[in-house]
Amino acid sequence: MMRLGGTVDASWSRICALLSRGLERYRLVVMSSFAPIVSPCVRVCAVDGARGMCVGCGRTLKEIVQWTAFTPAERETIMASLPERLNPAPSPPFESR
């Protein structure tokens, strides 16, 4: 027990317990308010130097670095463009003269 001012401070442990419970509640509220960030990452991280994008997910290095800073709408826009980036339309055959 702790003595403050010559008297036994029996409430000290109660204060610590309340603080502890308050911090736990705060942690639960804060952690539950964050939704997981959707990511196209497929854990095949290799950058194609010629195209400047990841061969696994199709994002550019700049997009990968800034991913968590983008709004959900920005991430959705990028993700909608990824299939075309990963599988671009074939070029027309070269015609010789």
Do β-strands 47-48 and 53-54 pair in parallel, antiparallel, or remain unpaired? Answer: antiparallel
Q: Which long-range contacts (CB under 8 A, 24 or more apart) does 51-54 make?
A: 53/85
What are the tokens at 48? 């194609």
Going residue by residue through the chain (97 aa), what tens digit of pLDDT does each one get?
455 555 446 566 666 666 667 666 666 555 556 678 899 999 999 999 998 999 999 999 999 999 999 999 999 999 999 999 998 777 777 776 6
Residue 37 contacts residue 67 (beta carbons within 8 Å):
yes
